[in-house]
Structure 1
Amino acid sequence: MKNIKGFSIVTVLCTVLVTASCSTSPKGDGTLTFVETDTDNTLTVCHFDQVKNTIDINLSDLVEEFKIVRFEDSDSAFFKANGFCITDHYIGIRQSDNLPFLLFTHDGKLKCQVGAIGNGPGEYSWSIYDEVINEKTKEIYLASFAFLPKILVYNTDGKFMREIATKEKLSKPKIEVDSDRDITIIHMPFENNKEKFLAAVHDKNGSFKQELKPTPNFLQRDFNQEIFAYHNVPGFSFFLTSNDTLFHYNKDANKIYPKFKMDFGEVSETPMHIYNEIPDYYLIAMLWGKGVIAVNKEKQTSNYAKLINDFFGHMEAPMFNFCNGWFYQMFEPEQLITLIEKRLADSDCSAEDRKQLETMLESIDEEGNNILFMGKLKQKGK
């Protein structure tokens, strides 16, 4: 079996007790190998040097609905977006520059500011790093960037309700709330933490239920690493850059399973990259203009991919912008105007696309608030 860079880390983390074996499906294109790390888990490995082709993927193949949201132009509704949490009725905006979290409806109306910046009860003095909007319970969970041993909970009117105390100060935490209202937290544990944990679960009342201690490979000395979790698939899918593997945390088993990684082989310099996962694909964003690799889980193929927004003018869209089960693409007005004009200049812009683009172009207020394209991800198999 070909030696997979970093696989020894994976085997330690997963406590593999048997010899791992590889197999390649005959229906694949040869870019992938598969490692059985447990009786009920397989790690997919994509071999970078085997990925050669570029394909187009229509947005309609991935999302079941598409919306254009124009945010209201009141002074309080303008924002500097640093993250999104889209649900069936709400759009949560995590802002940059340590500005408060905002909650909008799908018609672009500002519903409320959630909490406030400060050091008092229900206030946060550090930037928000992750969030959950639970429409069923009308609750919003906010996790600060670092240094706070708690998750803050608000209602969908923006009022502070309670806090969930954690055993240790959180570092770049990612959070999910399941149908039982259990709150799962994954963060970066530090070597000098008194009570180190990689994952922890609290019940709906905030009471501690369980934790998963980190192996040495997950321990950090500083904040130079990042943790990414986009919440697009069942199970807690996350990527910690110090362990170049996409993992799933299984709450019921209280175990972590390696699900995907890139094998960069003998390249002189490993490209900077980030992993994401949606129902039908693993996505690898190769930073600094190198593109996005899309690994089709069912077909077992890997290609560089361009996403085409066939809902709107067949404009190219960002292939990696999927979070909380939604596609998103945010524009400042002038930015969207420039992109539409560029698309109108393309020789392959059809008459139908041209009409749609020109109608949109005429309606954009250059001084207005941001415009959001968004679409809800299809579930696997649809």
Structure 2
Amino acid sequence: MKSKIQFLFLAALLLGAYCCSPKGDGSVTEIMVNGDKMYAFSLNELRSDTNIIALSSLVEDCDLVQLETNDDTYVNPWFTTVTDKYIGVRQRDNRPYMLFDRSGKFITNVGSQGGGPGEYTISLYDDIIDDKNELVYLTSMNSDKIMVYNTSGQFLRDIVAPIRLQKPKMFLEDGILTVIHMPFGNQAIAAQFNASTGEVLRGLTSPSHLVVRSFDGEIFNTRNVPGVFDFLHTSSDTLYHFDVKNNKIKPGFMMTFESSEKPFKQYYQVNKELLLTFIFGKGLVATDLKNKTSSWVKVVNDYYGNMPAPTFITQLRNGYWVYNLQPEQLIENIEDRLAKKDCSENDKKILNKTLSTLEEGANNVVFIGKLKSEVKNRMW
């Protein structure tokens, strides 16, 4: 079987990049590309066994929040964004963006579907809640506008982009709003705006390998690391960082493999030292950059009876682990865990206590854990 190594890795070597000697278990390599450090892990260096890691190794704490229940507040979540003050729910089926406080009390709908001011004609693709200035930024899948509201739901203004934005992702820092999207042809891949005035500050021509020909594919980002605008463009095999200050795209992380078939995967950064790679059909790989090790992993919620803790990209965003689900789903999850032979008496006590707080037919419940900023203890 012929070895197939990803293009960027080979291109980096041809451009004069060099690799540092691996440490740890040999699965992680540092690569210098045009003066910037990136990391790669080798899928072929992984052991076949899977390590169980506790959610408490990823988050500082974990709370279960009941969202307010009435006829107007039921949610159908797609992505849930948590900040120190708010819970924002970007919904499926073109339903409005919903804003709750951290106790779960409903505050307001933010915008709605339609063609008027402050309305979105197509599904929302990204959101930012700015606690400091009490603002909400929303972008739709295909538009030339970023919509700005206050946290009372009032539409304030549009920030108008010089190009049409396809599946845009946003990053806000020091009053600068940066947007990355899927560029067609000679479109810029990024634009930066003064967040207060909407003034266009600068753009960035797209590298040829990130130009797309169709609306297929996605852009994912997490914003988990302060000051780091990470994004994964599904047309590429690399997790990138956008250098906001220098208006530059830098390679950050990638996977190498030997296979006749390219694995379909998602990268997402948990903190500055830990990255996850979900490989469809195979499982989840954690890469510890601090200790230079990688492993197949499964995460359990040790705060709540060691139930499985989903760790898809929808759960790890904006500096939090967030799991938004219907109470009926959680009841089923708890009952499944209680039936397991390895469910300890202490686990049963915690799970039954949680079970007693749940009400079928109520609005969704949300697990919230603030992500740790670094790998504090070796996890495997």
Q: TM-score under structure 2 normalisation?
A: 0.93
User: Structure 2: how far apart are the matches of 1:319 and 1:296?
Assistant: 16
Higher relative contact order (CA 8 A, sep 6+): 2
- TM superposition shift of 1:43: 1.9
- The Cα offsets for residues 106-144 of structure 1, whole Å up to 9 and x where unpaired, read as 111110000121101111111110000001000000010
Match of 2:20, as an amino acid?
Answer: S
Ranges of 4+ aligned residues in structure 1 off by more than 6 Å: none
Counterpart for residue 366 of structure 1: 360
Structure 2 counterpart of 1:334: 328
Residues 292 and 304 in structure 1, CA contact (< 8 A), matched pair in contact too: yes
Residue aligning to 1:22: 19
Q: Name which of 47, 69, 74 aligns with 2:70.
A: 74
Check conservation: 1:9, 1:217, Cα contact below 8 A: no
The answer to whether residue 346 in structure 2 is matched with residue 349 in structure 1 is no
Range with greater deviation from structure 2 (29-38 or 127-136): 29-38
SS in 2 for 1:168: strand
2-structure distance, mates of 1:4, 1:251: 30
| CA RMSD, Structure 1 to Structure 2 (Å) | 1.8
Identify which of 225, 240, 244 aligns with 1:247.
240
SS of the aligned residue for 1:97 comes to coil
Rounded Cα–Cα distance in structure 1 between residues aligned with 2:30 and 2:253: 9
Question: Take 2:68 and 2:7, find their aligned partners in 1: how far apart are those partners?
Answer: 48
Q: 1:181 Cα deviation (Å)?
A: 1.5
Q: Which ranges of structure 1 fall in alignment gaps of 5 or more residues?
A: none
Q: Distance in 1 between matches of 2:98 and 2:192?
A: 26
CA deviation profile, 1:54-112 (whole Å, cap 9, x unmatched): 21221111111211011111011101101111101100000000111000111111100
- Of 212, 219, 222, the residue aligned with 1:227 is 219
Q: Who is 1:303 aligned against?
A: 295
Query: Deviation of residue 24 (structure 1)?
Result: 2.4
2:66 maps to a residue whose letter is R
1:200 matched to 2:197? The reply is no
Uncovered stretches (5+) of structure 2, i.e. residues with no partner: none
C-alpha change, 1:339 and 1:381, in structure 2 (3 Å) is: closer
After superposition, the Cα gap between the structure-2 partners of 1:65 and 1:8, relative to the gap in structure 1 and judged at 3 Å, is: closer
Task: Give the equivalent residue in structure 1 for 2:41.
Answer: 46
Q: For residue 333 of structure 1, what is the amino acid of its counterpart?
A: P
> How far apart in 2 are the matches of 1:69 and 1:62?
19
Q: Which residue type is aligned with residue 344 of structure 1?
A: L
- Please give the secondary structure, in 2, of the residue aligned with 1:169: strand
The alignment of Structure 1 onto Structure 2 pairs a total of residues equal to 368
Does the CA contact (< 8 Å) of 2:6 and 2:237 recur in 1?
no
1:307–1:316: 8 Å Cα contact kept in structure 2?
Answer: yes
Residue 293 of structure 1 is matched in structure 2 by 285
The question of whether the paired residues in 2 share the 8 Å contact of 1:131 and 1:175 is answered with yes
- Contact 1:58–1:308 under 8 Å retained in 2: yes
Q: Give the fraction of aligned pairs with identical amino acids, expressed as a percent.
A: 39
Q: Is the 8 A contact 2:232 2:238 kept in 1?
A: yes
Q: How far 1:38 sits from its partner (Å)?
A: 2.5
Residue type matched to 1:235 in 2?
A: V
Distance in 1 separating the partners of 2:164 and 2:145: 7
Q: Does 1:324 align with 2:321?
A: no
SS in 2 for 1:380: coil
Q: Partner residue of 2:51?
A: 55
